[in-house]
Structure 1
Amino acid sequence: MSDVEQTLAQLNVLMAKQHFDRAIDMATEFGQQHGEFAPVLRIRSAALAELGDTSRALADIRQCLELAPDIDDYLLHCASLEIAQHRPAAALRVLERVVADNPMVDRIASAAWPQLGEFAKARECARRACEKQPDNPEFQENLDHLVRHEGQQLKIKPAEVGADAGISIPLSYYEPKGLAAAGVALRKQLRVVYALLLREIAGQYQHSRLGYLWAIIEPVVHLTVLGLFFSLLTHSVAPLGKNLYLFYLTGLLPFFMITHTASKVMQGIAANRSLLLLPAIKPFDILLARAVLSFLTEIAVSIIIGCLFMLVGISATPSDPLVLLEVMASAWVFGFALGVAMSVLVEMFESWEMVWSQLTRVLYFCSGIFYVAEKMPPQIRDFLIWNPCLQYVEWFRSGFYDGFVPPWLTPAYVNGMSFVSLALGMAMLLLGHKRIRIEE
C-alpha cells in the first residue's frame, strides 16, 4: 500500500471515529511532507466543515478544484460550503460544472435558491431530485420542508474521495454526537446571529443620512431640553452632584438601555419576517441580534457622551465604574426579556406597540430620571420603589455618585426580575411560535 493510500485509510478511520481535530492535523502534516494532494485536502475540508470552520473548509476544497477541477464530488462539496457561507450565487455557478443528471445537483440547488428568495425554484429543484432518486427519504423530507417553508438546515452527503487518483475510499456524512454536536450547533448559531447583527447594522443606520450620529444626537437633544426646562424655567438645581445635565444623564442611560432594547427587540420579527423562510434562522436569532446591537449602541453612546461632557469641562468620572457596567448589563437583560415577550404580544395583538408607547411615557415619569425617590412624599415613594426602572436608575447613580446608597435599593430584586422576565419571555416565545406569521 502506498503512502497516499495508507494516509487516506487512516484519515477515513479518524473521520469514522469523529476525531476531526486529529484528521486535520494528519492531513496538514501529510501536505507539509509530500505536498498538497486533492483527496487528502478533500478529507481535511470535510473535517473542518464538521467542526464548523467553513471558511477554511471552503479554502481547502477550492484548492482541490485547482488540482482536480472536474471531480463531481469536489464540486458538490464546494457548492454546499458556498451555501453555508451564504454565497448562493457562487454555489449555483459551481453546480453548472457538474453532470446535470446527478440528483445531488438539484438537491444542493434547492438549498441555494431560498437564500436568493427564489422559493419556487427551490421546490422545483427538490422535486426533480426526488424524481431522479425516489427512494431517497432525505430528498423527500427536504421537499416537504420547502413546501411548508419549515425544516432544518440542509445537509449534503459527500460521495467518495480519491477518484482522481484511482482510489475509491467512501467518505460518508458523519453526524456529530453529544458535546461535539452541541459545539457545532452553537458555532453555527453564533455565525447566524453575527450575520444578522451585520444586517441589522446596515438596515438600521446606513439607510439614514444621519446614520450612526442619530444614536448620539437623540440623548444629547433630550438632555438639552431637560436641562433648559428645569434650569431656566423652574430654576432647579441638581438633586445629586453639582451639574444638572450630568444628573439627568445618569437617569437617561439605564432608562434608555431598557426601553430602547425592549422596543428594538419587540419589532424584530415584524421587521425581518421574510428571513424566517430560511431554515437556519429562528425567531430567537433575530431577537438576540437586535438586542446585541442595542447593547453595543447604548454602551458606545454612554462613553461618547461622557467624553463630550469632559471636553466641555464637566467632570463625568464615576465613583465605581464596575457598578455602572453591572447595572447596564442587568438593564439590558431586563430590556431584552421585555422585548422577547412583547414580540409575541405584537403577533397576538396588533395594537400592542401603541400600548407599549404609552407605557414608556408613564415609565419616563415614574423612573426617577429628573428626581430622586428620597425627595418624593413617603406614600408615593413606597409605590415607586417597586418600579424596576427606578431601581435601575438609582442603582446606576449609586455607582456614579460617591455616598449615594438609598436604603430601598435592592440589586437582588432587579436582577431577579431580569432573569424571571427572561424566562417568561422565552416561554412565551416557545409557546407562541405558531402565532408568528411567516411572510410568503
Structure 2
Amino acid sequence: MIDPILTKLALRRARKHVNPRIVMRSRQTSQTSMIAGFAPGATPSLREEFAAFVAGARTASRVVGALFLREMKTRFGRSRIGYLWAVLEPISHVAVMSFVYWAINRRAPVGDNVILFFVTGVLPYFLFQKTAQHLGGAIRGNHLVLRMPLVTGLDLVVARALLEAATWVAVVLLIFGFLILSGRAALPEQPLVCALAAFVTFAFGFGVGTINAVLMTVWKSWVLIYPMLTRPLYHFSAIFFFIDRIPANLRDWLSWNPLTHAVGWFRVGYVEAYGSVTLDPAYLIKWTVGAVIIGLCMERAAQRAVQSG
C-alpha cells in the first residue's frame, strides 16, 4: 500500500538543499555540461565534475533513505507482528527439520549439532530468496512514487534491498545470539568468511531481484513463473544435507546450483568442519557479477517502460 503523504514529506526534505539541475547532470552524465549550467561549448573542470558527482550522490542517498523508511512502514506497518514473523519464519523451518531428525533418531549430517547445521543452511538461503523475491515487486507496486521528481526505479530497488539486508542482519543476530547465550552454539570460527559469504549471497539476490523487478513490470506473467522456477532450489541447495555424502553423480548436478556454494561458504565460515570438496566460492562470485550486471543493464534499458508503467 502506498503512503503518498509520508513519501512526499520525506522527498521534500531530500530536495531542500539540492539544485535540481545538478542532480539531473549526475543522473544523465551524457549531458553534463549543459545541465550543470555551463555555457554552451564550455568544458567543466575536474573539480566541478567531482562536485556535481558528490551533489548527485548525496541527493540519491537522501532519496533512497526516504524510500527506505517508507518501505519499512509499508512492510511492517505499525504492528510488531511483521518483525516477529521475520524471525519466526527461518526458526520454523529449522524446528520442523530438527523434529523430523529427532523423531527418526538421526544424527546431524556433520558433527553433533543438528540445529546449528540447519541454521547455517537456512539463513543464507533465505537471504538470497527473500531479497530476489521482494525486490521483484519494488517497481511494479510503486508506479505512483515513480512520478515524483528525482525518484527512479533503481532507487526503489536499492531501498528495498537495504531493508532486506537490515532485516536479515537483525534476524541473524537474534538467532545466533540466542544459540550462543544458551550454550547451543559457539562463536563462528571465521566470522569474516561468514560476512563475505553473506555479502556475496546478498549481492546475488540483488542482481536476480533487479532482473525480476524489470521483468515483473514489463511481463506480468513473470510474477507467477519465477516462483515456480525457483521453488525447487529449497530442496536442492544442500540446506538440510551435506553435499559430500550424496552419490557423486547427483553431487555433480547439484554443484551447478550457485546457492549450494552460498550455503556451503557460509557454513564453513561458521564451522570449519562443514568444509566441502565441492565448495567453489569463485563460481558463486561469477554468478553474482553476471546477475548484477544484467540486472542493472536491464533496468537502464527498460527505464522508459518502467517510468510509464
TM above 0.5: yes
- The aligned amino acid for 2:274 is F
- Structure 2 residue 83 is matched with structure 1 residue 188: no
Residue equivalent to 1:392: 262
Q: Deviations over 1:61-116 (max 9, x none)?
A: xxxxxxxxxxxxxxxxxxxxx9841699xxxxxxxxxxxxxxxxxxxxxx9xxxxx
Match of 1:358 among 228, 231, 247: 228
- The aligned amino acid for 1:363 is L
Residue equivalent to 2:93: 222
Contact 2:188 2:271 in 1 (8 A): yes
In the alignment, structure 1 segments of 5+ residues that lack a partner are: 1-81, 89-110, 112-137, 139-154, 158-175
Contact 1:324 1:399 in 2 (8 A): yes
Aligned equivalents of 1:340 and 1:226: distance in 2? 32
Aligned equivalents of 1:347 and 1:379: distance in 2? 39
- Computing the radius of gyration from Cα coordinates, the structure with the larger value is 1
Query: Residues 239 and 83 of structure 1: is their aligned pair in 2 closer, same or farther, counting only changes over 3 Å?
Result: closer
Q: Deviations over 1:253-293 (max 9, x none)?
A: 11011010111111101222210001210000000010011
Query: Residues 319 and 83 of structure 1: is their aligned pair in 2 closer, same or farther, counting only changes over 3 Å?
Result: closer
- Structure 2 residue 201 is matched with structure 1 residue 201: no
Aligned equivalents of 1:236 and 1:272: distance in 2? 48
- What's the CA shift for 1:214? 1.5
Contact 1:291 1:336 in 2 (8 A): yes
Contact 1:240 1:401 in 2 (8 A): no
Aligned equivalents of 1:343 and 1:215: distance in 2? 22
Contact 1:227 1:244 in 2 (8 A): yes
- What's the CA shift for 1:394? 0.7
Match of 1:278 among 121, 130, 148: 148
- Normalising by structure 2, what TM-score? 0.83
Aligned equivalents of 2:307 and 2:100: distance in 1? 45
What is the Cα-based RMSD across aligned positions, in Å?
2.4
- The aligned amino acid for 2:229 is L
Aligned equivalents of 1:348 and 1:194: distance in 2? 26
Residue equivalent to 1:432: 302
- The aligned amino acid for 2:225 is V
Residue equivalent to 1:60: none
- Normalising by structure 1, what TM-score? 0.59
Aligned equivalents of 1:401 and 1:386: distance in 2? 23
More relative contact order, 1 or 2 (CA 8 Å, 6+ apart): 2
Contact 2:11 2:63 in 1 (8 A): no
Residue equivalent to 1:27: none
Map 1:72-151 onto structure 2 (within 5 A): 84-85=12-13
Identity %: 33
Match of 2:184 among 292, 314, 320: 314
Map 1:216-255 onto structure 2 (within 5 A): 216-232=87-103, 234-255=104-125
Aligned length: 275
- What's the CA shift for 1:402? 2.2
Query: Residues 86 and 324 of structure 1: is their aligned pair in 2 closer, same or farther, counting only changes over 3 Å?
Result: closer
- The aligned amino acid for 1:262 is A
Off by >6 Å, runs of 4+ in structure 1: none
- What's the CA shift for 1:312? 3.2
What SS is found at the alignment partner of 2:276? coil
- What's the CA shift for 1:182? 0.5
- What's the CA shift for 1:326? 0.3
Residue equivalent to 1:419: 289
Query: Residues 360 and 230 of structure 1: is their aligned pair in 2 closer, same or farther, counting only changes over 3 Å?
Result: farther
- The aligned amino acid for 1:323 is V
In the alignment, structure 2 segments of 5+ residues that lack a partner are: 1-9, 22-34, 38-46
Map 1:170-189 onto structure 2 (within 5 A): 177-189=48-60
Aligned equivalents of 1:222 and 1:369: distance in 2? 10
- Structure 2 residue 248 is matched with structure 1 residue 378: yes
